[in-house]
Amino acid sequence: MADGPVAEVLLRRLETADGGLDSAELATELGVEHQTVVGAVKSLQALGEIIETELRSSKRWELTAEGEEIAQEGSHEARVFRSIPPEGLPQSELMRLPSGKVGFSKAMSNKWIRVDKSAADGPRVFRVVDSVEDEVQRRLQLVQGGQAEKLGEKERSELRKRKLLTEVTLKTYWVSKGSAFSTSISKQETELSPEMISSGSWRDRPFKPYNFSAHGVLPDSGHLHPLLKVRSQFRQIFLEMGFTEMPTDNYIESSFWNFDALFQPQQHPARDQHDTFFLRDPAQAQQLPMDYVHRVKRTHSQGGYGSQGYKYNWKLDEARKNLLRTHTTASSARALYHLAQKKPFTPAKYFSIDRVFRNETLDATHLAEFHQIEGVVADHGLTLGHLMGVLREFFTKLGITQLRFKPAYNPYTEPSMEVFSYHQGLKKWVEVGNSGIFRPEMLLPMGLPENVSVIAWGLSLERPTMIKYGINNIRELVGHKVNLQMVYDSPLCRLDAERGPPSTQEAA
């Protein structure tokens, strides 16, 4: 249609037009439907900057079907008048004419005709005047000729009441030249084809412009889970810092490795049924490193290695109880024990990120299983200042630079410090991790040299992920109730590149 005759005419007229032209006027001039011109305008619009258009709406008077008929044939009253011969016409006959009923009463009130009720064969109608001016027809013809404005308000409303006229709103385009105006347009190609490339015809062909505001079609793709994307980044950070990954592929632990080895006394509340998942089957760990177990037992019950101990009756059966590990520190204990068996001692930096299990009350931010991130450095002469230094580097890589440290208590670290960072959104210090230096009562029974210190810290994987992706309910992130659309839509995980979730989430 773009290269149809109407569009071409439009462009030619526009070339010589002063300022622009109206689509409705053009339709009248060309004697075509207005819709045809509108179609031409739209197809030219799609070509870009050839024309500029402005949508205008105007009110216009139009004849109704009956009005059209009257403009053609004359008003009903005039037709009644004309149908009466000089000798008159019986009223009954007149009433049978198509315009009879309406025409009769109008002609009567116009005093164009009279009725002789005394006539022999019933009432008879006669002309009163010789000729009449059909004012209604004249007025309708004026409207038809586009000169409705020549009629008075009163006259128009009378015709409207007679349902001969109606007011319509007309949408027209005011068309003017665009920045790329040209009268020579030809059919535009939608896409480049191999044939065009080989024939070179693309050089001479115009191409239909793209609508760049439309959305693209998303690729069919797989997606990685956001929590595990964050896990990958944490692994990356540890690897960048020279930390070796510990094996953590053992969800089942003995109480020994999970608690006793960490110098956590057997009456400690964490060892309660309310906090820990114990196993019914297999209920007990059959193999424990007994030499080491004895050293652990002695340290708990009697002390040693400079410690007073906890002075209670340590029971092997309690240590054998199997459980779902409550922290990855159980794996760290195994790794450190393993390290202690290697002579001579070699410094080590370890990390792990894996699942841990707690028999806790569940809510919007707590699940029975979550991921723990843990970092450990073992070397001669490590200090609290070293721990803080390593934490500073670690958190800087997460994009967290404002840190402060609070004294805290952990059963297996001393000194212990909680790590706080200033949260810009919440305008307060929030805890981002826990850390400390492992107690000598944990390290020395393992066989590590006395002057070796082990610094360690931990945090959960879920919390930073929820903050990063603005998720308030942990179930939307972890577990089968995950919102897959969220997985599909989640961006890359660049921990140091952005700060926090969108502001609305921060407020919540």
Partner 1 sequence: MPTVSVKRDLLFRALGRTYTDEEFDELCFEFGLELDEITSEKEIISKEQGNEKAHGASDVVLYKIDVPANRYDLLCLEGLVRGLQVFKERIKTPMYKRVMPKGEIQKLIITEETAKIRPYAVAAVLRNIKFTKDRYDSFIELQEKLHQNICRKRALVAIGTHDLDTLSGPFTYTAKKPSDIKFKPLNKSKEYTACELMNIYKTDNQLKHYLHIIENKPLYPVIYDSNGVVLSMPPIINGNHSKITVNTKNVFIECTGTDFTKAKIVLDVIVTMFSEYCDNQFTVEAAEVVFPNGKLHSFPELAYRKEMVRADLINKKVGIRETPENLAKLLTRMCLKSEVIGDGNQIEVEIPPTRADIIHACDIIEDAAIAYGYNNIQMTLPKTYTIANQFPLNKLTELLRQDIAAAGFTEALTFALCSQEDIADKLGMDISATKAIHISNPKTAEFQVARTTLLPGLLKTIAANRKMPLPLKLFEISDIVIKDSSRDVGARNYRHLCAVYYNKNPGFEIIHGLLDRIMQLLDVPPGEKKGGYAIKASEGSAFFPGRCAEIFARGQSIGKLGVLHPDVITKFELTMPCSCVEINIEPFL
The residue (of 26 and 477) whose beta carbon lies closer to partner 1 is: 477
Min. distance of Cβ 498 from partner 1 in angstroms?
A: 22
Of 281-300, binders to partner 1 (CB under 8 A) are 281-288
Per the listing, tokens 């994307």 go with 229
Residues 73-132 that bind partner 1 (CB under 8 A): none
Determine the Cα–Cα distance for residues 299 and 318; give it in Å rounded to an integer. 16
What radius of gyration, in Å, describes the C-alpha atoms of the chain? 47
Contact with partner 1 (CB under 8 A): which of 198, 213, 308, 504? 308
Closest approach, Cβ 442 to partner 1, in A, equals: 10
Give the residue with the Cβ less far from partner 1, 88 or 445: 445
* Residues of this chain, 474-503, that bind partner 1 according to CB under 8 A: 477-485, 487-488
Contact in structure between 324 and 357 (CB atoms under 8 Å):
yes
User: Which residue is associated with the tokens 């290695």?
Assistant: 305
Q: Which is nearer to partner 1, 37 or 390 (CB)?
A: 390
The tokens of 280 are what?
Answer: 């019914």
Instruction: Mark the segment that binds partner 1 (CB under 8 A) among 70-78, 206-214, 215-223, 290-298.
Output: 215-223
Burial of 401: CB neighbours in 10 Å, binned 0-12, 13-18, 19+: exposed
Contact flags string 171-190 toward partner 1, x per CB under 8 A: --------------------
Q: Rounded distance, CA 114 to CA 460, Å?
A: 105
Nearest approach, Cβ of 234 to partner 1 (angstroms)? 12
Give min distance, CB of 296 to partner 1, in A: 15
Residues numbered 446 to 465 that lie near partner 1 (CB under 8 A) are: 453, 455
Binders of partner 1 in range 131-150 (CB under 8 A): none
Length of the chain: 508
Establish if 359 lies at the interface with partner 1 (CB under 8 A). Answer: yes
Q: Pick the closer one to partner 1 by CB: 7 or 348.
A: 348
Report if residue 279 touches partner 1, rule: CB under 8 A: yes
Question: Strand ranges (DSSP E) for 382-487?
Answer: 403-407, 413-423, 428-438, 452-460
Are 26 and 149 within 8 A, CB to CB?
no
| Dist CA 253 CA 259 (whole Å) | 10
**Which single residue is written with the structure tokens 């009725």?**
115
Q: Is residue 439 at the binding interface for partner 1, with CB under 8 A as the rule?
A: yes
Minimum CB–partner distance for residue 450 and partner 1 (Å)? 11
State which residue, 40 or 461, has the beta carbon closest to partner 1. 461
Among 96, 311, 366, 494, binds partner 1 (CB under 8 A): 311
Q: Residue 256 corresponds to which amino acid?
A: F
Q: Contact, 227 vs 371, CB < 8 A?
A: yes
Which CB sits closer to partner 1, 76 or 371?
A: 371
- Orientation angle between helical segments 76-83 and 135-144, nearest 10 degrees: 130
Least distance in Å: CB of 505 to partner 1? 21
> Of 229-268, which residues contact partner 1 (CB under 8 A)?
232, 235, 238-239, 241-254, 267
> What angle do helix axes 462-469 and 226-240 make, rounded to 10 degrees?
120
* Residue 219 CB, nearest approach to partner 1 (Å): 10
Q: How far is the CB of 322 from partner 1 (least distance, A)?
A: 5
Cα–Cα distance measured from residue 397 to residue 405, given in angstroms and rounded to the nearest whole number: 18
Which element (helix H / strand E) includes 380?
Answer: strand 369-380
Range 371-430, binding partner 1 (CB under 8 A): 377, 379, 381-386, 388-390, 392-393, 404-409, 414-417
Alpha-carbon gap, residue 82 to 27, rounded angstroms: 37
Residues facing 416 on adjacent strands: 436
Smaller CB distance to partner 1: residue 139 or 320?
320
Query: H or E element: which one contains 169?
Result: strand 165-177
Structure tokens at 392: 């500073």
If you search the block for the tokens 């005093």, which residue do you land on? 111
Residue matched to tokens 């057997």 = 266
Looking at the Cβ atoms of 77 and 418, the one nearer to partner 1 is 418
| The binder of partner 1 chosen from 51, 227, 373, 493 (CB under 8 A) | 227
- Pick the stretch among 23-31, 117-125, 193-201, 219-227 that binds partner 1 (CB under 8 A): 219-227
